A and B are shown apart, each in its own frame.
Chain A
Amino acid sequence: MNDHAIRTAAQTAQAAFRLPLRDSTWRGLHGQFAGQGSGSSLDFQDHRPYFPGDDPRHINWQAFARTGNYTMKLYRQEVSPQIDLLIDCSPSMFFDPAKAKRTGELALFCAESALRLGAALRVHAVDASAVRLVAIDQLLGGKWLPAAEISSAAKSAAPEKLALERAPFRHGSLRVLVSDLLFPAEMDGLRLLAVNQGRGIVFAPWCRAEAEPEWDGNHLFHDVETGAKERRRVTPSLLRRYTEAYARHFATWRDAARRHGVRLARLNCTNDFTSTLRAEALPVGAVEPCQ
């Protein structure tokens, strides 16, 4: 995999887009994004009666002059949001070179975007069996992908859902999942991205070989997830029904994302990364423009 190309594509995309942190309030340490409580920023938020112990610097003296009551002037809290980045490291993410590249671009884009925004970032590699913390330096240095591939050497008998329940999501964090969602779809499969006041974004890379395969005749299929081999005869009828099943699969994921308020962006692996974000992630709010 060309690490330089991935890094270049991610940096180009960062110039135009970033993770969507401005349209919501966050919990976290002092930072530059609106927090869920009141703080010391310059943005006026509300008034409330004075309680003992309040900072007297925020008493609205003009209001006291008019009413004789102590009224506190509240300003918006500015925090550094917490971002939990989960990267699906199952083999399906890497079996196609374009898809592997897109996965790398997404991981790098999300991580660098989070860091650039001053977010408290945690990166986890996740597959069907485990969640492993990935050092940010390792991710930024481009060393995580081989490790992830090695970690997925243990094949399961059948594709299983990601072990999201083992992910240590922080309270109120933004959960960014980079996964192709190629495991049986469930309506509650994305619920964990939204629990504990969290918000979820799913970047799902897809490639043409999955969506519109050019299968014809006899194929010895090698399941990259399970390692199983299966001989099949693909007829036009079977191919048509496959594409219908593929569409239904992602329709289910969209419904699940909609139910839990998760933003799902499916990104194709054919076009360049920035164009793909503009065309497929921006409309669903999975990214926002930098301006």
Chain B
Amino acid sequence: MPVIFDNPAGFWALLGIPALLLIHTLQARSRRTASSTLFLLDRLAPESRGGWHWERLRSSLPLWLQLLFVLVLAWVLVAPRWIRPDASQNIVVVLDSSLSMAASLDESRAQLPARLRQMESLAMRTEWTLLESNPRAPTLYRGDNLSQLSSALNAWEPALGQHDIVPSLQLASSLVRGAGAVVFVSDHIRDVPEGAALLSFADPMENCGFIGSGVEEKDGQTVWHALVRNHGSATRTFSWHLAVGTQTSTPQSLTLAAGETRALQGFFPEGTDRLTVVLQPDKFSLDDQLPLLRPQPKNLRVALQLSGPELPILDRVLRGIPHLQTAASLEQADLRISRREPNAPPAPPAIPSIIFPEENASGPALQGWVVAEKHPLVNDTSWPALACTHAAGITSQAEDTALVWRGETPLIFLRQENPRPAPPALLFNFFPAQSNAPKLPAFVILLRRYIETVRAALPGFEARNADTHQLLPLAFDPAKGNLSLKIGDTSRPLTAAQAGVFRAPARAGFFQILQNGQPLLDGAAQFSDVREARLTDCAVADTLVAREKSIVRATSAPDPYRPFWLGLLLALPLLTWFLLRRRS
């Protein structure tokens, strides 16, 4: 039966062996001895004279007894346990999917298998499960072969920003039956649920990287901006350069103090739609490259069929929105802004609409507080300051989605007039011109958000910069062919369902969505998650010891001879003492 040691620290007791040998090598203090035969001793060649502090180690029974005592003491202290032949355990390893793990992935790949091999020795059979904390990710490995688990670990790469790890750890806990443990592998000290252990192999690291970017048109030229931040704790000097295709600019030096952020900017070279700003590589490479595209938004054609006091308001709002065109005719429009009886069926064509009430409409006096629903169009906007006294008398229907209420009356709501996936119409149940809505940022924001929603749902080519892993729902015409995602030289098909929840790649770089071979979206994914880039908080951790102890107790039996060893521990000093006393 294999033996394991419940308290490996007990092996420190073996240091007593060299200590004992050292003590026995030290020359003992001279004993005073009267002699009448020293003249006989004088004739013999002296082997060792006084004054030497060291001497050759001499074998003696007390020495061997003392060495045996140290050995037995070490054996008792390490608390050996014998693994039962039928002992098995379940170990579920959960990898932290946070992108910061990329910086210490090499260390994790190198050290985690060795640490797990130690755990493997706690039972005769170990069932391994390798998960990642991304709850949507599939199981990476399940089986009893640690080498295959290591292979799965080597093929894995983190892909998420900050996220909740608890669901994956709860799932992992449910997979542990009998003896076993949940091991969460991260690079930071994280709070893990009871019963789970934390492993981290990452030391604090310095890191400089991009934290944001922007592209704007200025004086007829396209200007890019990039923010570079030193996330570390020390001043750092590094170089950066531009890469356009296969050409690179002259590297320039940049010195940033700890925590300092510096803005870089430049023009897009003539005839170039994409470039990459490259920093000198460091341990965390995800934020060392900033791919940038010359944005090319979809143009939105608006049919403004509005008169009355709301017209200047809408005109002012629309003029502030780029890439917006006035449609030559209603048939060519992508968005209609009109005034009509809302309960009447919409006139063709079936396009999204912003609908204001008829000028002669009237409704009841409004009472109560103005509150906004939780909806992407009104989230994080303030509506309580909206002052409107009377509603327009529009009756909301059951399937309508109210956005803003006053009292019991919906003031703004959405109505699905056209079949999905066409965006719903935005209806106003009050007269903005008779309220202070034009002065409210929330009102302008609502209009802009709605217009951008309509633009996003509009099929057509677009070039844009996006954050890594940013949700980019694709608007496309299924009748025009299949979609595919192209990153670098690799391409893979996209289903319609995947296109609806498409996210930018997790790694910074250029990508392209093609439909039937024609580009639908040119994208540049940029890493900008500051939380993941701060690596000075990384720390090495290992809280497995407590879990290992409980596993050991479940899979092994204690040494049956422990009472004998304890008795021997008592007897050996007494015997040594007796021998030394007799000799003295």
User: A245–B43 contact, CB under 8 A?
Assistant: yes
User: B39–A183 contact, CB under 8 A?
Assistant: yes
Given A216-B583, A233-B55: A222 and B34 interface contact (C-beta under 8 Å): yes
User: B39–A233 contact, CB under 8 A?
Assistant: no
CB of A241 closer than 8 Å to a CB of B = yes
| B30 / chain A contacts, CB cutoff of 8 Å | 218-220, 231
CB of B272 closer than 8 Å to a CB of A = no
- Cβ contact of B41, chosen from A217, A221, A222, cutoff 8 A: A221
B62 to chain A minimum Cβ distance, whole angstroms, is 11
User: B32–A222 contact, CB under 8 A?
Assistant: yes
Binds A, one of B46-54, B393-401, B540-548: B46-54
CB of B328 closer than 8 Å to a CB of A = no
User: A223–B50 contact, CB under 8 A?
Assistant: no
| A230 / chain B contacts, CB cutoff of 8 Å | 38, 50
| A182 / chain B contacts, CB cutoff of 8 Å | 36-37, 39
User: A232–B36 contact, CB under 8 A?
Assistant: no
Query: What is the bound-complex CA distance between A242 and B51, given in angstroms?
Result: 22
Query: What is the bound-complex CA distance between A242 and B31, given in angstroms?
Result: 18
| B280 / chain A contacts, CB cutoff of 8 Å | none
User: A220–B33 contact, CB under 8 A?
Assistant: yes
CB of B490 closer than 8 Å to a CB of A = no
Query: What is the bound-complex CA distance between A180 and B43, given in angstroms?
Result: 19
B44 to chain A minimum Cβ distance, whole angstroms, is 5
Query: What is the bound-complex CA distance between A241 and B28, given in angstroms?
Result: 22
Given A235-B48, A238-B44: A228 and B38 interface contact (C-beta under 8 Å): yes
Query: What is the bound-complex CA distance between A231 and B28, given in angstroms?
Result: 12
Query: What is the bound-complex CA distance between A25 and B49, given in angstroms?
Result: 55
8 A Cβ contacts from B313-346 to A: none
User: A245–B44 contact, CB under 8 A?
Assistant: yes
A187 to chain B minimum Cβ distance, whole angstroms, is 17
| A210 / chain B contacts, CB cutoff of 8 Å | 35-37
Query: What is the bound-complex CA distance between A231 and B37, given in angstroms?
Result: 14
CB of A20 closer than 8 Å to a CB of B = no
CB of B137 closer than 8 Å to a CB of A = no
Given A95-B34, A233-B48, A235-B48: A218 and B40 interface contact (C-beta under 8 Å): no
A129 to chain B minimum Cβ distance, whole angstroms, is 17
Query: What is the bound-complex CA distance between A230 and B30, given in angstroms?
Result: 10
| A249 / chain B contacts, CB cutoff of 8 Å | 40
Query: What is the bound-complex CA distance between A192 and B38, given in angstroms?
Result: 26
The proximity string for A residues 186-216 relative to B, scoring 1 for CB distances below 8 Å and 0 otherwise, is 0000000000000000000000001001111
A residues apposed to B, CB below 8 Å: 91-92, 95-96, 158-159, 180, 182-184, 210, 213-226, 228, 230-233, 235, 237-238, 241-242, 245-246, 249
What are 14 A-B pairs with beta-carbon distances under 8 A?
A182-B37, A183-B39, A213-B35, A218-B29, A219-B30, A220-B31, A220-B33, A220-B50, A222-B32, A225-B39, A231-B50, A237-B47, A238-B47, A246-B40
The 10 A-B residue pairs with the shortest CB-CB distance, nearest first, are A231-B50, A233-B48, A92-B36, A218-B30, A220-B30, A223-B38, A219-B33, A245-B40, A217-B28, A221-B35
